[in-house]
Amino acid sequence: MDSINNHRNKLLRLFPAPVESVTLKGLYLNQQLHKLGTSSQPFVYSNFITSLEGRISLEHPQKKTFVVPKAIANPRDWRLFQELAAQADVLLTSGRYIRQLAQNIAQDILPISEQPAYADLIQWRQSQGLAPQPAIVIVSDSLNIPIPETLLNANRPLYVATGSEANWLRAQELKAKGIQVIMAGTGLLVEGQKLIAALGQEGFTTIYSVAGPGVLKTLLAAQRLDRLYLTHALRILGGEPFDILVEGEQLDPPADFKLHSLYYDAVEEEKPGQIFGVYESVVSKMPGDKG
């Protein structure tokens, strides 16, 4: 039996009360994120898996690049990742991830996976009137993005978001491939407010960042992240250097959250468990917010 349907895997909802057993399949899909945003106020969320000491990546043993550690990535968290993607009408990814895709060392092609295990999610999108796959926005200041053919032929809208001082020639090359280029910043970098406003104008209401610390910080600094999904794998890895959720300058003001929900995934006895935490931004003014 696979790890999603294995009944020895016990998933407990710890918050909100009462504590009770819940099933993994549908856990995040049932949150109906696709109904929370509007084009004037898109709903923006992101997710990460971290080791118990907070690492989000380690160096790939052969290639000189950082990837999500194999020791914490797991199919149960991956199922939830796919459920989050299933509700999005656009995914934010990074120039770096596209370079990894082109080198064949990315974790996976961008969701939603077309593997049979996720066919229910593609059907679910259809039943909700959503496009078969979310659009993709690649955030990049260098515009050094070798877009793989698989992505160009994937029949999903492709955008690149960059700052207005980005390399003009590279922007034209991308446009010539049918990619829409969004200028969402006054310098080289993309600014969170401008990016989300521009995507809202494109008609997107549900925006999922599957990128890493750079894009997360861009969203947090602009106070444009509504919800953070964080899986803590209960395993300590060690290693150098220390890659965490956000890097660089301190956020001013800090980004504050409230607990939305918390689950303990006991997995099988001989394996480490994991905690699924869902955190709601305190500044978020989404429908249903109490603040």
Ligand X SMILES: NC(=O)c1ccc[n+]([C@@H]2O[C@H](COP(=O)([O-])OP(=O)(O)OC[C@H]3O[C@@H](n4cnc5c(N)ncnc54)[C@H](OP(=O)(O)O)[C@@H]3O)[C@@H](O)[C@H]2O)c1
Query: Contact with ligand X (CB under 6 A): which of 174, 190, 228, 267?
Result: 190
Binding of residue 229 to ligand X (CB under 6 A): no
Tell which positions 99-128 bind ligand X, by CB under 6 A: none
Nearest to 44 by CA among 193, 182, 232, 181: 193
DSSP structural state of residue 142: S
HSE on the CB side for 133, CA within 13 Å?
16
Binding of residue 95 to ligand X (CB under 6 A): yes
* Distance in Å, CB of 237 to ligand X, minimum: 11
User: Which residue, 124 or 191, is less far from ligand X as judged by CB?
Assistant: 191
The β-bridge partners of 230 are 48, 277
Binding of residue 51 to ligand X (CB under 6 A): no
Calpha distance 141→289 (Å, rounded): 34
Binding of residue 49 to ligand X (CB under 6 A): yes
Calpha distance 133→82 (Å, rounded): 11
Both structure tokens of 236: 């300590």
Binding of residue 186 to ligand X (CB under 6 A): no
Asked if residues 77 and 242 have their Cβ atoms less than 8 Å apart, the reply is: no
Query: Contact with ligand X (CB under 6 A): which of 37, 42, 111, 214?
Result: 214
User: Using CB under 6 A, which of the segments 6-14, 95-103, 119-127, 260-268 binds ligand X?
Assistant: 95-103
Binding of residue 24 to ligand X (CB under 6 A): no
Asked if residues 208 and 36 have their Cβ atoms less than 8 Å apart, the reply is: no
CA quadruple 102, 180, 207, 192: dihedral sign: positive
Tell which positions 61-80 bind ligand X, by CB under 6 A: 66-68
How many chain residues interact with ligand X (CB under 6 A)? 26
Angle 3-84-91 (CA atoms, 0-180°, nearest 5)? 130
Element (H, E) at 219: helix 213-221
Binding of residue 232 to ligand X (CB under 6 A): no
User: Which residue, 36 or 147, is less far from ligand X as judged by CB?
Assistant: 147
User: Using CB under 6 A, which of the segments 13-21, 23-31, 93-101, 250-258 binds ligand X?
Assistant: 93-101
User: Helix or strand or coil: residue 54?
Assistant: coil
CA 152, distance to chain mean position in Å, is 21
Query: Contact with ligand X (CB under 6 A): which of 31, 82, 87, 218?
Result: 218
Calpha distance 62→287 (Å, rounded): 47
User: Which residue, 66 or 264, is less far from ligand X as judged by CB?
Assistant: 66
Binding of residue 205 to ligand X (CB under 6 A): no
User: Using CB under 6 A, which of the segments 22-30, 89-97, 256-264, 273-281 binds ligand X?
Assistant: 89-97
Tell which positions 132-151 bind ligand X, by CB under 6 A: 139-142, 144-145
The β-bridge partners of 231 are 49, 276
Calpha distance 223→88 (Å, rounded): 19
Residue nearest to ligand X (CB): 95
The footprint of ligand X (CB under 6 A) covers 48-49, 56-57, 66-68, 94-97, 139-142, 144-145, 189-190, 211-215, 218, 243
